Structure 1
Amino acid sequence: MTDFTIAAHPREENGRRPSRRLRRTGMVPAVLYGDGKAARSLSIEARLLRKLLPDERAYTHIITLRFPHGNETALIRDIQMHPYKEEVLHLDFLRVHAGERVRLHVPIHLLNEGTCAGIKAGGVLHRALVEVEVEAPVDRLPEAIEVDIAALCIGESLHLSQISAPAGVTLVPLLHEDDKEIVSIHNPRTGAEAEEETPEATA
């Protein structure tokens, strides 16, 4: 799905019981807030969300909510899922406009795992971060932060300060001098090594 426009319907009733009734009709309750405007209750067809949400890009791209009397542009801010079903219970949308700088968590994609020097040498990959908070103009939010690990060797790691973010994108943890580790390659412990480190039992 490449068109991030979705039909939205005004919702008059709020609360648990009206929300349950709404879900039984195939609709999902949601709220739209931000940009200095009053919060707006709405609902979206569950079948449309099942098409939209599997696309990872939907979480970092502007979504146009098409109401019967005008459109709103927003980002998905939060999704409440059913505890054990693949079912969306509620969504939060944040109003945005072109040029506005926003903060959002985006996934970290590791590149060249298959040719990583440390993995080819028998090392074990450890992922310390799977996503990172970024700040960027809303129309330049990256779909993901890509990290090339081809040259990473056993005993080495990569931190946020060692990667290049896309132009105009700031890695928020670095603003707070929090240079998080992204990934590292560990030397696997063999059974023989483990036995050598175990003190011998005394008689």
Structure 2
Amino acid sequence: MKTYSLSATLRKEVGKKATRDQRRQGLIPVEIYGGEKNQSLLVSKKDVRNLIYSPDVHTVELSVEGGDKVMCIVQDLQFHPVTDEVLHIDLLQISEDKPIVVNMPIVLDGFAKGVRAGGTLITRMRYLKVKGLYTNIPDRLHIDITNMGVDQPIQVRSLSFDNLELLNAGNAVVATIKSSREMAAMAAQMEAEEEAAAPAAPEAPAEEAAEDSAE
């Protein structure tokens, strides 16, 4: 995984008023777990933007004032329900000898045989949950689909990655290829279901119905 460097200061004041003041100053409260003791910290909002709003999964090299650097991963994020700004970050301290669990992005490599034959590639999963030492986890999980044919789905149980354990259900489908005929049938079925689910037109009031019948 890529490493993201981040600096933090100790959070000396807590409570609602202190938190509001800190956020007005462009600071975000952070809790770090997994070490000898939990720590309450503050980081700059602008410093975490590229960490939070990124498709990649990072390890975080955290430098805390008055302390050593520690390696972490983002455990949880709290966002504002309206502005979508980050309100709070939970970090988990990690070590080279203790496995971690993370959701890793998937990349499908190659021009599938079924697509060359006119089929359509459908991606069912974009992330896989893996367990392993963070030093063994790559930036992305690459899956070769070159020999994948029509109606030959790739399931989790058929995948393996060096030094990693996959935690998703074995029968979960990562990707599949459907023929043009199957795609047309699926589209027709979806259209029929949408029409069936559409609300019926409201009935005219009794007076209007009477007027209509009198015309």
* Distance across 2 between alignment mates of 1:86 and 1:102: 28
Contact residue 101 and residue 129 of structure 2 kept, 8 A: yes
Amino-acid identity (%): 23
- CA deviation profile, 1:90-147 (whole Å, cap 9, x unmatched): 11100112221111111111112xx222223332222221111111112222222111
C-alpha distance 116-11 of structure 1, shift in aligned 2 (>3 A): same
1:64 equivalent in structure 2: 61
Q: Structure 1: how far apart are the matches of 2:87 and 2:188?
A: 48
Q: How does 1:69-148 map to 2 (within 5 A)?
A: 69-70=66-67, 71-85=69-83, 87-112=85-110, 115-148=111-144
1:186 correspondence with 2:183:
no
In the alignment, structure 1 residue 153 sits paired with structure 2 residue 149: yes
Q: Is the 8 A contact 2:3 2:58 kept in 1?
A: no
Q: 1:194: how far off?
A: 5.6
**Normalising to structure 2: TM-score of the pair?**
0.75
Equivalent-residue separation in structure 1 for 2:119 and 2:142 (angstroms): 21
Do the aligned partners of residues 164 and 8 (structure 1) sit closer, same or farther apart at CA in structure 2, a change above 3 Å counting?
Answer: same
Quote the Cα distance in structure 2 between the aligned partners of 1:118 and 1:51: 37
Q: In 1, are the aligned partners of 2:3 and 2:61 still within 8 Å (CA)? A: no
1:45 maps to a residue whose letter is S
Alignment-derived partner of residue 201 in structure 1 = none
Q: Which runs of 5+ in 1 are unaligned?
A: 199-203
In structure 2, stretches of 5+ residues that fail to align are 193-215
Cα distance in structure 1, aligned partners of 2:128 and 2:188: 35
Aligned-pair CA distance for 1:55:
4.6
Looking at structure 2, the residues matched to 96 and 13 of structure 1 have their Cα atoms a distance apart, in angstroms, of 26
Pairs within 5 Å for 1:32-51: 32-35=32-35, 37-51=36-50
Counterpart residue type for residue 135 of structure 2: D
Counterpart of 1:173 (choices 162, 168, 176) is 168
Count residues with an aligned counterpart. Answer: 185
Shift of 1:51: 3.2
Is the CA contact 1:11–1:43 (under 8 Å) kept in the aligned structure 2?
yes
1:85 to 1:172, Cα distance in 2 relative to 1, 3 A: same
Give the letter for the 1:185 counterpart: I
TM-score (norm 1): 0.79
Q: Is the 8 A contact 1:60 1:141 kept in 2?
A: no
Aligned residue for 1:38, secondary structure, equals coil
- Tell me the CA shift for residue 155 of structure 1: 1.4
Q: Distance in 2 between matches of 1:184 and 1:3?
A: 33
Q: Which shifted more, 72-81 or 14-23? A: 14-23
Larger-Rg structure: 2
Aligned residues: CA RMSD = 2.6
Instruction: Please state whether the residue corresponding to 2:38 is helix, strand or coil.
Output: strand
Residue 54 of structure 1: CA displacement?
Answer: 4.2
